[in-house]
Amino acid sequence: MLRYILKRILIGVLVLWLIATLTFFLARAMPGGPFTREKALPEAILKNLNARYHLDDPLLKQYVDYIKNIARGDFGPSFRYPTQTVNDLIARGFPVSATIGALALTLALLVGIPAGIISALRQNQWQDGFWLFTTTVLISVPNFIIATLLMYVFAYKLRWFPPALWGTAKQAVLPTIALAGYPLAFVTKLMRSSALEVMGQDYIRTCKAKGMPRYILLYRHMLKNAILPVLTILGPTTASILMGGLVIEKIFAIPGLGQHLINGIFNRDYTVIMGLTVFYAFLLITATLLVDISYCLIDPRISLAGGTKDE
C-alpha cells in the first residue's frame, strides 16, 4: 500500500504542476491586467505597481518564481487587497467553504444511501416512484435555481430562515440544502442500481433461502458490497460540491473561497485566481486518494496494487 500511496502522491504533484502552469499562462492571457480600471491610472503609478509586484519581469521569470513560491506553500499577495495575501484569504474563507461543503456532503450521504436502499427494496412501488421522481428533478434543475426557490419560499415568504450571510445555524440551512441537491440525487440513483445488482447475486438468494433475518442480510451482506460504487464517486462528488459552492456562496453572500475566486476573476487578480485554483485541485487530488485507500478498509478483498487479494 505504501508504494501505491507514494506513486499516487507523485502523480498528484505532477497534476498540480500542470494545473498551476496552465492557470498561470491562461491568467496572463486575460485582457487587461490587475490594475486596469475604468479610469486609467497615471503611467508612473502603473509602472511603480508593476515593479512592486514584479509584473515587469520577463514572463518566464515570473513563471519560475511563482512555481518556486507554490512549492513553499506561498501563493503570493493579492493585487486587489494589498494588505492581504492569498494565504490569508484561504485561511479565512476555507473554513466557511469546508463547513458548508461538509454539511452538504453529509446530507447527501445520510439521505441518499437510505433512499437508494429503500428504492431498491421497494422496486416498482410508490416509494421507488417517489425517489425516482425526486432525483430526476434534483438532477435536472441547476443548484442556483434551487437556491433561488428556497430563498424565495423559506426566507421571503415563510421567513423561517435568513436569506443570506453566514454565522448562525439557521443561515447554513438553505445553502446546505441547495448545494446537496445534485449529489443527493446522484448518490440515491447509484445506490439504488448497486443495491439491485447485489440483491440479484447468488449468495443473497442463498441467504434468503436459509431464512436469514432481513436486517442481518441487509447490513452484513448487501450494504457492504452495494456501497462501494458510492465510495468511488466521493472524489468527483466532493469536486462538484466545491465547484457548485462557488455559485451558492455568491447567491447567499457567504464569505467563503467561492466569493474570493469570483471576485478575483472579475478583478483580474492573478495570484488569487491561480492560488485558489491550485488549492481546489489539491483538495480534489487528496479526496480521491483517500477514497481509494478507503476501499481496502471497507472491503479487504480489494488490493490497491491491482486485482484482489484472493488472486
What is the Rg, in whole angstroms, of the alpha carbon atoms belonging to the chain? Answer: 24
With a cut of 70, say whether residue 33 has pLDDT above it: no
43-52, 108-117, 186-195: the lowest-pLDDT one? 43-52
Amino acid at 151: M
What does the pLDDT read at residue 133? 92
Q: Rounded mean pLDDT of 160-185?
A: 88
Which of residues 239 and 310 earns the better pLDDT score?
Answer: 239
Q: Count other C-beta atoms under 10 Å from residue 131's C-beta.
A: 23
- Contact, 270 vs 27, CB < 8 A? yes
What does the pLDDT read at residue 124? 83
What does the pLDDT read at residue 184? 92
What does the pLDDT read at residue 300? 56
What does the pLDDT read at residue 169? 87
For the stretch 94-133, pLDDT in tens is: 888 888 888 999 999 999 999 988 888 888 888 888 989 9
Q: Rounded mean pLDDT of 11-28?
A: 88
What does the pLDDT read at residue 302? 54
With a cut of 90, say whether residue 18 has pLDDT above it: yes
What does the pLDDT read at residue 107? 92
Write down the mean pLDDT value for the chain: 81
Confidence tier at 311 by pLDDT (50, 70, 90): very low
Percentage of the chain beyond pLDDT 70 is 88
Confidence tier at 226 by pLDDT (50, 70, 90): confident
- Contact, 245 vs 98, CB < 8 A? no
For the stretch 253-306, pLDDT in tens is: 888 888 888 888 887 788 888 888 888 888 888 877 777 776 666 555 555 555
With a cut of 80, say whether residue 155 has pLDDT above it: yes
* Residue among 133, 134, 95, 129 nearest 111 (CA): 134
What does the pLDDT read at residue 198? 80
Which of residues 21 and 204 earns the better pLDDT score?
Answer: 21
**Rounded CA gap, 243 and 32, in Å?**
26
Q: Rounded mean pLDDT of 138-144?
A: 87
Confidence tier at 9 by pLDDT (50, 70, 90): confident
What does the pLDDT read at residue 14? 92
Cell 428556497 -> residue = 150
Percentage of the chain beyond pLDDT 90 is 12
**How would you write the chain as a 3-class SS string?**
CHHHHHHHHHHHHHHHHHHHHHHHHHHHCCCCCCCCCCCCCCHHHHHHHHHHCCCCCCHHHHHHHHHHHHHCCCCCECCCCCCCEHHHHHHHHHHHHHHHHHHHHHHHHHHHHHHHHHHHHCCCCHHHHHHHHHHHHHHHCCHHHHHHHHHHHHHHHCCCCCCCCCCCHHHHHHHHHHHHHHHHHHHHHHHHHHHHHHHCCHHHHHHHHCCCCHHHHHHHHHHHHHCHHHHHCHHHHHHHHHHHHHHHHHHCCCCCHHHHHHHHHHCCCHHHHHHHHHHHHHHHHHHHHHHHHHHHHHCCCECCCCCECCC
